[in-house]
Amino acid sequence: MDRTRHGLWRPTRGLTMARLFGTDGVRGLANRDITAELALDLSVAAAHVLGDRGDFVGHRPRAVVGRDPRASGEFLSAAVIAGLASAGVDVYDAGVLPTPAIAFLTAELGADLGVVLSASHNAMPDNGIKFFARGGHKLEDSVENAIEGRLDEAWDRPTGADVGRVLPLTDGADRYVAHLLSALPNRLDDLHVVIDAAHGAASIVSPRAFRSAGARVEVIGAEPDGLNINDGYGSTHLCMLQQAVVERGADLGIAHDGDADRCLAVDHTGAPIDGDQIMAILALAMREQGTLAHDTLVATVMSNLGMLLAMRDAGITVRQTGVGDRYVLEDMKAGGYSLGGEQSGHVVLSEHATTGDGTLTGLLLAARVVATGESLRDLAAVMTRLPQKMMNVKGVDKDAADSNEAVQAAVARAEAELADTGRVLLRKSGTEPLVRVMVEAKTPEQASAICHHLADVVREQLAL
């Protein structure tokens, strides 16, 4: 059995596998880690697991399948559709749409399952498989484990009229845009916005939604060719949007990632507005509107200390979870909270969405600018970001970070140096083979120095 570069085990008949699912589905190098065979087998296994637990009782099962525009999504979505149909599931093929659109359509159409082929913000060679249960919610860990346990098993195949049928979902974008517009508290008339779609799944629907809401829209990064997704554009490459906003005199810019479940922004001066700042702005707006449940925001341990302090001063409670939007979602669901997200731009607005939705987030952020008459720069000033430095340390045993004595001793020394003026966080990535080192401090120089030192210790102590 071969170990792949993303920590996945290739399916091999008769052998058990390490866990395939990470914090955001199954992800890896397309056609090597994420193969057509794996896509088909996962889809069949998912149908069997959901069917056996009673999800399909009393009706013919249905699924919605969509993808981002990367080239490998073409054959992978075909494999997923084939697997589901062979297991007796009728499939709506939604084509290229954002991940949150597939989650919405799964709920809207009363489907039993949603599947998205996307590697989100990763570079084009990667791809991934993400499942949604009925209602558009991410699968629980126990269900994912059950799916893995059913891979490559023998099964009785339906025949004749019992095989699944495949239908194109031609109005998926229309339904999704209408849903987005219904969530807006006010129109965006005359607001000048630049949208960077990352040559991804939002290339059509996000500009369309903003224009329908009344905004004057200019678009960059919206010419997907299957190979250019996230390449120099989008939420992980803000420089093109910053330049466009300043050169064109726009009020603000909105940046998505490849599958448009993220939103970052740029103010009229070209300054970036990250997920923490966006959440702070939306939290205050929602509390004013009476829609911030329990006056609480759910964020991760990666959120900037400046955001936590600003929310404390505003009388808003911040609950912190592990890193990954699935953990934010779990906490929101358990506590009945209405706003949560990550610094990276995953923002969950549970009144309108079951997962992070970059277009929805951008629309509501723009609506706040219009409603208050303030610039995005002024709104973002509600919090002061502490200098933060983060480094990804690759080529290390990420699972040993918590137990290595030298690493933990270095962290303790750094925390003692920072005292109550900053913090240190080491964590293993849920989607890549690396350890992330994050340091916040009073000055950029101090944050950088401590972060580089800790990264060197991690690299030395945990080298493979």
**Are 376 and 393 members of one domain?**
no
Q: Point out the catalytic residue in the list 72, 118, 120, 344.
A: 120
Longest CA–CA separation in the chain, Å:
70
Q: Are residues 414 and 270 in the same domain?
A: no
For 58, residues 6+ apart whose C-beta sits below 8 A from its C-beta are none
Residues 162 and 272 in one domain: no
Per the domain annotation, does 20 fall within a domain?
no
Name the 3-class secondary structure at 463: strand
Q: What is the pLDDT, as a whole number, of residue 324?
A: 81
350 plus 431 within the same structural domain: no
What domain range includes position 453?
Answer: 388-461
**Catalytic annotation present for 120:** yes
Residues 448 and 375 in one domain: no
Please give the pLDDT value at position 454.
Answer: 96
Q: Given this model, what pLDDT does residue 18 score?
A: 56
Report the C-alpha gap between 227 and 204 in whole angstroms. 17
Asked if 122 contacts 258 with a C-beta cutoff of 8 angstroms, the reply is yes
- DSSP letter at 70 equals -
Its sign, for the CA torsion 21, 25, 26, 28, is negative
Q: How many CB atoms lie within 10 A of CB 68?
A: 33
pLDDT tens for the 464 residues of the chain, in order: 233 323 343 333 333 345 788 877 899 999 999 999 999 999 999 999 999 988 898 899 999 999 999 999 999 999 999 999 999 999 999 999 999 999 999 999 999 999 999 999 999 999 999 999 999 999 988 999 999 999 988 999 999 999 999 999 999 999 999 999 999 999 999 999 999 999 999 999 999 999 999 999 999 999 999 999 999 999 999 999 999 999 999 999 999 999 999 999 999 999 999 999 999 999 999 999 999 999 999 999 889 999 999 999 999 999 999 888 888 999 999 999 999 999 999 999 999 999 999 999 999 999 999 999 999 999 999 999 899 899 999 999 988 888 999 999 999 999 999 987 888 999 887 667 789 999 999 899 999 999 999 999 999 999 98
Binding-site positions read: 120, 257, 259, 261
Query: At residue 324, what is the residue type?
Result: G
Q: Which of 144, 140, 150, 141 is nearest to 129 (CA)?
A: 144
Binding-site annotation: residue ranges for Mg(2+): 120, 257, 259, 261
Q: Are 236 and 317 in a shared domain? A: yes
How many structural domains compose the chain? 3
Distances from the Cα of 71 to the Cαs of 83, 117, 201, in angstroms? Answer: 20, 11, 12
Residue with tokens 């005199």, as numbered in its chain = 249
Do 263 and 365 belong to one domain? yes
Residues 211 and 352 in one domain: yes
Assigned domain for 11 exists: no
